Amino acid sequence: LKVRLIDDILEKINNHLPSHIRILGLKRVTGGFNSKNKCDARTYSYMLPTFAFAHKDHDVQEEVYRLDKETLERVNKLLSCYKGTHNFHNFTSQKGPRDPSAKRYIMEMYCGEPFVRENMEFAVIKVKGQSFMMHQIRKMIGLVIAIVKGYAAESIMERSWGEEKVDVPKAPGLGLVLERVHFEKYNRRFGNDGLHEPLEWTEEEEKIAVFKEQYIYPTIINTEREEKSMANWLSTLPIHDFNSSAVEIQANNKNSKNSSDLEGSDGCGDDSD
């Protein structure tokens, strides 16, 4: 697909798009360029209400909760543990512990300073990695929330990278945004060849920030306030068993079912009619 670089091309394209869909920048690339295959890293953000980090033993009103410095430091300490190469088979589906593709490299992960919108405090987690599997980021964040809230011990992170199957909760999908795709190898080879520009978007940073404030953040905030996706998900955390492996949980469930079957056949069920 080729595009003629006519005058004011961005403005002319955007005039035909709805206001919540914008083209913010345009750069010439090499022939046969494939954005998926040439991408060597991705950065995602995850916006969430900070009451998600309140300890489970504290009675917290969602709108008045404010994240303290000590808790934010602990969150960032836990998030930084993901840096490097780990086996994330417990953070996705249909991947075994010895599947080489379950190993992923995380370059950075941190939570920014909290801010208030619509009387509720939010924060944004950023994560940059070579590539991600389905549900991986949501489970990475879900596990940190479970630890900070006091449902799981910090040691579960090391366990989750081992071969055993660990129960890792998956945080809500609301708030997850693809922030940027990185083309660092491409930039080193072609970015300064005199014909092409580096695929970087520093000049568009201000427009991106304005767009997020106008459309992305309000959508996340309003949906959270109306549907309470985070609050509803947090109520499911006590159901998870962070001390047992998934194999032990399945065995316990099977034993419970067998026990109930025996009780039901002991003249106390429908047979007694």
Q: Which residues are annotated as a binding site?
A: 44
- Helices (H) and strands (E) in the chain — how many of each? 10, 6
Q: What are the C-alpha distances in Å from 232 to residues 60, 103, 172, 235?
A: 14, 31, 9, 5
Distance, C-alpha 161 to centroid of its chain:
17
Q: Which residues contact 159 (CB under 8 A, 6 or more apart)?
A: 166
Burial of 125 (0-12, 13-18, 19+ CB in 10 A): buried
Interatomic CA distance for residues 79 and 89, integer angstroms: 18
Residues of the binding site for substrate: 44
Residue 102 to residue 134: CA distance in whole angstroms = 11
* Whole-angstrom distance, CA of residue 145 vs CA of residue 152: 9
Collapsing DSSP to helix, strand or coil, 41 comes out as strand
Locate 29 and state its tokens. 């690339």
Closest CA to 75 of 107, 105, 120, 113: 113
Long-range contacts of 181-189 (CB under 8 A, 24+ apart): 181/35, 181/39, 181/41, 181/42, 181/43, 182/39, 182/40, 182/41, 182/42, 182/43, 182/128, 183/38, 183/39, 183/40, 184/40, 184/41, 185/38, 185/40, 186/33, 186/38, 186/40
